[in-house]
Amino acid sequence: MEAQVVYIVLAAIFGLFMAWGIGANDVANAMATSVGSKALTIRQAILVAAVFEFLGAVLAGGAVTDTVRKGIVDTEQLAGSPELLIYGMLAALLAAGTWLLVASRNGWPVSTTHSIVGAIVGFAAVGIGVDAVQWGGVAKIVMSWVASPLTAGFIAFFIYLTVQKLILSHEDPLDRAKRYVPVYMFLAAFTITLVTILKGLKHVGLTISLRDSYILAIGIAVGIAVVGAIVIRRIQPDPKAEKDQHFITVERVFGVLMVITACGMAFAHGSNDVANAIGPLAAVISTAQGGVIAAKSSVPPWVLLLGGAGIVVGLATYGRHVIATVGRKITQLTPSRGFAAELAAATTIVVASGTGIPISTTHTLVGAVLGVGFARGIEAIDLSVVGRIFLSWVVTIPAGAILAIIFFSLFKVILP
């Protein structure tokens, strides 16, 4: 009984630490383009993200979660010694949280999913045996390092070219923006609603068919586009400001759009990525209480609240570092460029969700920001920043694995 309490308390502490890391590092996916393009201030972004990330995590973060993320470990080999799974999941949470702390301090946008996956692979290979790791699943994740940023980059490149062609290259760009931005609003709202339904609400037990998902997304998108069009119509040109910056009023129109995409992306992200913290935590709780390893673990409400709170605190205390890297240092963003990047990232996530390809929202958004940069020419991108980001991606899985091996070995010795 005493050991059970120790396991659950440690799991809650390490799960909170991991959720903090998700907030500190990964929430930049939802907010970096809005801050970098000055559509939102850093304070406003933290407030918006705090509300929508928390709501996503708590309302749609998963009543039931896979015990072991992404089918990476063959748990049947642990059936006779469930305590090894507990040590392993504690080690994985602590290892992934530690790596996210290091990455966030340095402003590196790394994948929280890959951090926890690397940590689980590390403990499984050493604690159970190399053959217990489903290497096919790991290979898929490594392939996504290339596929997701490339896909998002191409889509962002072409979206921004359409913005230039349809709006920015015309004599009266504001009139063109008022005509075409509601169409972009519809596309953005449709895509982000679909992301939320496909990636978020599937956890809640709401079984919405694919056809109904599309109908619901279209209905919400039409409503948002109509409201957006009414708001945009009221934006009047500022001749004095236009002298200093030709597209300033047009960018204000796109700024309205950026706020919509930021809210949607934050909700979808909170609903999906909180599982990286609460999945291993739920596994420890169910195994400690039942003494057996379950394929699925029900998630107590307090665990979702813990995950949501951890994400919000991580964003508020450390989120600015990664937001600065993605939003400002890769390439100079304006609301129109930031919108192109965010819509491209959301579209890539929808495609990946529909096809079951494991994907990193971090890699996807960085690829999309690069795509927008390329649309303006290679000189618009800071290649030294990009190089450091790519290096941090490559290091993430091995770093998580090595830290997890160290912590797993410690826990085997010191825990009851």
Interval 48-69: pLDDT, tens: 888 888 887 777 666 445 544 4
CA nearest neighbour of 334 among 258, 409, 240:
258
Tokens at 291, concatenated:
């003494």
Residue 172: CB atoms within 10 A of its CB come to: 11
Q: DSSP letter at 396?
A: H
Tokens at 373, concatenated:
């940069």
pTM, entire model: 0.83
**DSSP secondary structure, 104-166, as one string:** HHTT----HHHHHHHHHHHHHHHHT-GGGB-HHHHHHHHHHHHHHHHHHHHHHHHHHHHHIII
- Asked if 270 and 5 touch (Cβ cutoff 8 Å), the reply is no
Q: Give the percent of the chain with pLDDT over 90.
A: 16
Residue type, 381: I
Q: What is the pLDDT of residue 242?
A: 63
Alpha-carbon distance 108 to 103, whole Å?
Answer: 5
Q: What is the pLDDT of residues 111-165, one digit of tens each?
A: 888 888 889 889 888 888 888 788 887 787 778 778 889 999 999 999 999 988 9
Alpha-carbon distance 261 to 339, whole Å?
Answer: 8
> What mean pLDDT do residues 203-214 have?
73
> What mean pLDDT do residues 20-36 have?
84
Higher pLDDT, 271 or 203: 271
- Asked if 382 and 362 touch (Cβ cutoff 8 Å), the reply is no
**236 sits in which H/E element:** none
- The full length of the chain comes to 416
Residue type, 222: V
CA nearest neighbour of 135 among 119, 114, 121:
121
Q: What is the pLDDT of residues 89-113, one digit of tens each?
A: 899 999 999 999 999 988 888 888 8
User: Residue 65: beta bridge partners?
Assistant: 297
Residue with tokens 């030709």: 246
User: Residue 331: beta bridge partners?
Assistant: 381
CA nearest neighbour of 367 among 118, 190, 157:
157
